[in-house]
Amino acid sequence: MVLAIEVSDLWKHFGAKPALRGVHLAVEEGAVFGVIGPNGAGKTTLFRILATILRPSKGVVKVFGHDVVREAGTVRDLISYLPEDAGVYKHLTGHNYLGMIASLYGRGSLEMGVEISGLGDRLRERAGTYSKGMKRRLLLAGCLMTSPRLAILDEPTAGLDVEHAVFVRNLIREYAAKGTTVLVSSHNMLEVNYLCDEVAILHNGILLERGIPRELLAKYDVSNLEELFVKKVSGS
């Protein structure tokens, strides 16, 4: 078994308050793994540590066996990261943005990025003129066109209409089938249930539960992930 992500006793402090409290997590290569939790649960902090943007206060975090602190450069070559609040270069056309990504990473193809975005002729226009959903599709295309070993996607379908959200979900599953490991967060529980092989519930920086969605529903005698989420977070 190859582990894409290994997290051991991870703590992250911002001042006196810990954002992550002793998190342990292992994600197998090729899985689509979902992290769910309320705002402020620590999801984004965890993602930023895995993406080498933040340093752990304590603990060990590895991506494909490479330490995110001591081997940050190697980790960055293996991943792509789509933050929830990512912005676009508004004066670049969508086509130029995708070309820049291909050049920076030295892998992937512009044609692949164009296909993933689904923006067609709008790629000739400046990204600053795009709707929120169009910007999200452009950023996701830049994230996946490089064929990362690990794609870290924070709310990947935020701002998308139903049609394009379904397209993105299918695309994520397609990439996972080809071997890309995907770590995803979403407030859409139906999306998590559809997408993810396993899920973890994070609350107040503590990992409360993890497992295969259908097995968790049976374990807690609930009919959907929303009910499970409320039950675990409320402690009932």
pLDDT exceeds 60 at position 236: no
Angle formed at CA 191 by CA 182 and CA 56, multiple of 5 degrees: 40
Q: What is the pLDDT of residues 90-121, one digit of tens each?
A: 999 999 999 999 888 877 788 889 988 889 99
pLDDT at 86: 84
Structural domains of the chain ordered from first start: 3-88+148-234 (3.40.50.300)
What pTM was estimated for this model as a whole? 0.92
CA distance 5 to 50: 8
Q: Which helix (H) or strand (E) holds 18?
A: strand 17-28
